[in-house]
Amino acid sequence: MFSSAWNFVKRHRRKFILAGAVVGGVYFLGKYAQKKMREIQEREATEYIAQARRQFHFESNQRTCNMTVLSMLPTLKEAITHHLNSESLTALLKTKPANKLEIWEDLKIISFTRSIVAVYSTCMLVVLLRVQLNIIGGYLYLENSVGSSGKTSLAPPDVQQQYLSSIQHLLGDGLIELMTVVKRAVQDTLGGMSLKQNMSLLELEQQLNWIRAQVEGGSLLDQGASAEPGAQRPLTCYMMTDEENSLSDQACGLTESDVMTIKLLNETRDMLDSPDLSTVLNTCLNRGFSRLLDNLAEFFRPPPGDPTFCSAPDSLSAVSLPLAKIIPIVNGQINTICSENPSHFVQDLLMIDQVKEFAAIVYDTFSTPALQK
């Protein structure tokens, strides 16, 4: 029996060898496939964890942005009210001075100027901090995820502090320049308007639009600037200086931290010059002035039960107030616009989809390993 079995094997040995090779190949191929599947699964799990960690870090960074904006609003409000002090004028009016009409005219210009400046500067503060903190946030994520491997930190604490201190331009010289431009636009638009003239909410909106057109249209350039007629000065000039950081003015003696700070500032300027930021800032301004008008609308509502306005298709357009009564209303809007407590005005700006999307673009740009050189 064994002899016949052996003969059978000998006669069909090639088939057995081929079958063995096939079975062995299938076995090893299966093992290889299992290994590759495990590698793919492990890689997918690693990528998922990394993506989840990155998303968590991004969302945490946005909360930091929101808290930073709120914490800086009192400083912004103080700066505006310091340079556009309407309280001193209202105190003078209570003394019944001889030049009462002149003081009222000054109060008219200052009241509108400071509320409009408050809208502009708050929107700029939201956008600028979104850019700065997401640049730093992106670098910090990149540094923590990839690892510095003994290299210099991408954004050490001293560089972060020096970089973020550039916000002082918006709270200082930039704010003063913005006030000058807005005040001139207010003067051109409302300067000749009588205090007794009645205005509806729609007419007030038209006046604000005319002021915005002058401020944003480039017709109000700095008198000392050497620009061609009709040249437009971008709003970002109030957010950050046009020239290189003052540190770069030194021909020598720049520390490594100084060089890193200048690099961050230049990257910020690139972001501020992008068309996407212009769109985001314009969206914020539209939302901001819309919220300002919503706040003013509360004072233009007809008396409850007044039959005079029942048949009006738009009662808000039918209600008119003397400019002298509108001035105190406008004057007080800065307390709502620059409120550090969560207000509808600031919340609206922080929750705009375009702001969130642009923040994600900035963060993604600076948190990718390709930027690490």
Q: Name which of 164, 103, 111 is nearest 135 in CA terms.
A: 164
CA 187/CA 110 separation, integer angstroms: 9
pLDDT of residue 220: 41
The model carries a pTM of: 0.82
Q: Is residue 300 a contact partner of residue 200, using CB atoms and an 8 Å limit?
A: yes
Q: Is residue 195 a contact partner of residue 322, using CB atoms and an 8 Å limit?
A: yes
pLDDT in tens, 255-295: 888 888 899 999 999 999 999 999 999 999 999 999 999 99
**Mean per-residue pLDDT, 47-75:** 80
Q: Name which of 109, 114, 106, 107 is nearest 84 in CA terms.
A: 114
**Mean per-residue pLDDT, 176-202:** 94
Residue 59 pLDDT > 90: no
**Mean per-residue pLDDT, 58-65:** 87
pLDDT of residue 177: 95
Q: How far apart are the first and last CA of the chain?
A: 77
CA 148/CA 151 separation, integer angstroms: 5
pLDDT of residue 234: 83
pLDDT of residue 304: 65
pLDDT of residue 108: 96
pLDDT of residue 30: 65
The domain segmentation of the chain, as residue ranges, is: 71-371
Confidence of residue 224 (pLDDT cuts 50, 70, 90): very low
- Return the minimum-mean-pLDDT range out of 58-72, 93-107, 276-290, 295-309: 295-309
SS3 320: strand
SS3 121: helix
Q: Is residue 334 a contact partner of residue 81, using CB atoms and an 8 Å limit?
A: yes
Mean pLDDT is highest, among 47-51, 176-180, 294-298, for: 176-180
